[in-house]
Amino acid sequence: MQIHHHWTGIGPAHRGASVAMGNFDGVHLGHQSVIALAAEAQAPLGIVTFEPHPREFFAPAAPPFRLMNAEARTHRLEKLGVAELYELPFDARLAGMEAETFVAEVLVAGLGVAHVTVGADFCFGKGRKGTVETLSREGALHGFGVTIADLVAADGAEISSTAIRAALAEGRPRDAAGMLGHWHRIEGPVLHGDRRGRTLGFPTANMALDGLHLPKLGIYAVKVDVLTGPHAGSYDGAANLGIRPMFEVPHPTLETHLLDFSGQIYGEHLSVALVEHLRPEMAFDGLPALVAQIDADCARARAILAGL
């Protein structure tokens, strides 16, 4: 997959794609239906998306809401067969661009799109005044096709990033996975921590949660993909997502213990899938009680993951 960070300077070999356009936060089943329709055109499959998310640009002080960072989104889109990823910089220039100008300058002059597919609720351009009707009209004017994808529902309710966030916040990762079409994953590098887990006999891979929507805090059974380094592969694990109340960690982090693993993975990139919320975080009467509970958590996680 070729990744482009602007709409200018795109070489002829990377123009002319059939693109799905949107934010694609989570790349859920609704997003996947849009991408699948875009793939039906007789042209390379492309994605037009934005970084940062427009909501982050307009409300930078708002609580984190993203389901995945740009790295995780890229990995998910690559698995769907995307050939060209146009990750456009959402800045004041783009935010102030009228819908018709966006079509002419970005989609036509910049990317030379052959076809554009969007969801039925897609809006774009300054003040979100551009609608699917606007896009269809401009497509006919400029000579590219437009497909409007129906919204996707599950159990009678529309699949949306908002519904997925709610499921995760309530500790229902399996329900979130049912709407995503895949496990909810947190991706990033393994950071150096205080090594407290190692001294307790349960070394952990520590990851930041900056900018991401926080699932319910607590202990999870997880599936772990080590994406880089000599230990690359898939592992089962148990993870603490939270602040570790016994140790007064100021900011929530994800600390994952890989079951039956003893390698060194500092600095490597991990993808951690939340499978089941086991229990909330809690404080214990001393380290022996904590160690006993961690051991029980690992045993329960092992049993759950063995049944997948």
pLDDT of residue 198: 60
Q: Is residue 159 part of a domain?
A: no
Do 140 and 186 lie in one domain? The reply is no
Do 258 and 214 lie in one domain? The reply is yes
Do 108 and 198 lie in one domain? The reply is no
pLDDT tens digits, residue range 143-153?
A: 999 999 998 98
Nearest C-alpha neighbor of 107 from the set 82, 84, 77: 84
List the CATH number of the domain containing 86: 3.40.50.620
Q: Is residue 244 part of a domain?
A: yes
Q: Is 56 a catalytic residue?
A: no
pLDDT of residue 197: 57
Q: Is residue 230 part of a domain?
A: yes
Q: Hey, what's the torsion of the CAs at 271, 273, 279, 281, to 10 degrees?
A: 20
pLDDT tens digits, residue range 210-231?
A: 999 999 999 999 999 999 999 9
Neighbours of 201 (CB within 10 A): 10
pLDDT of residue 154: 80
pLDDT of residue 192: 84
Cα–Cα distance for residue pair 174/180, rounded to 1 Å:
10
pLDDT tens digits, residue range 19-33?
A: 999 999 999 999 999
Do 89 and 150 lie in one domain? The reply is yes
The domain boundary residue, chosen from 123, 154, 185: 154
Do 242 and 301 lie in one domain? The reply is yes
Do 7 and 145 lie in one domain? The reply is yes
Do 182 and 130 lie in one domain? The reply is no
The domain boundary residue, chosen from 114, 129, 154: 154
pLDDT band with cut points at 50, 70 and 90 for residue 47:
very high
Q: Is residue 165 part of a domain?
A: no
Q: Is residue 161 part of a domain?
A: no
Do 10 and 45 lie in one domain? The reply is yes
* Residue tagged active-site, from 51, 133, 255, 281: 255
pLDDT of residue 245: 57
Percent of the chain with pLDDT over 90: 86
Do 72 and 141 lie in one domain? The reply is yes
pLDDT of residue 99: 97
Residues contacting residue 19 through CB under 8 Å, at least 6 positions apart: 38, 45, 46, 47, 48, 84, 86, 107, 111, 113, 115, 116, 117
Question: CA angle at residue 32 from 30 to 38, to 5 degrees?
Answer: 115
pLDDT of residue 199: 63
The domain boundary residue, chosen from 127, 154, 181: 154
pLDDT tens digits, residue range 98-112?
A: 999 999 999 999 999
Q: Residue 200: is its pLDDT beyond 80?
A: no
pLDDT of residue 196: 60
Q: Is residue 258 part of a domain?
A: yes
Q: Is residue 162 part of a domain?
A: no
pLDDT of residue 283: 83
> Quick one: average pLDDT of 36-64?
95
pLDDT tens digits, residue range 252-306?
A: 999 999 999 989 999 999 999 999 999 999 888 888 888 999 999 999 999 999 9
> Quick one: average pLDDT of 112-127?
96
> Which amino acid does the sequence have at 191?
L
List the CATH number of the domain containing 252: 2.40.30.30
> Which amino acid does the sequence have at 49?
T
pLDDT of residue 155: 76
Burial 85-102 (b: 16+ CB within 10 A, else e): bbbbebeeebeebbbbeb
Structural domain boundaries enclosing 285: 171-306
- Based on the structure, what is the number of domains in the chain? 2
Poorest-pLDDT segment among 10-24, 35-49, 242-256 = 242-256
Do 131 and 257 lie in one domain? The reply is no
In three-state secondary structure terms, 208 is strand
Do 112 and 202 lie in one domain? The reply is no
pLDDT of residue 251: 81
> Quick one: average pLDDT of 40-52?
97
Give the position of tokens 């214990």: 284
pLDDT of residue 193: 67
Q: Is residue 270 part of a domain?
A: yes
Which pTM was predicted? Answer: 0.91
Do 28 and 129 lie in one domain? The reply is yes
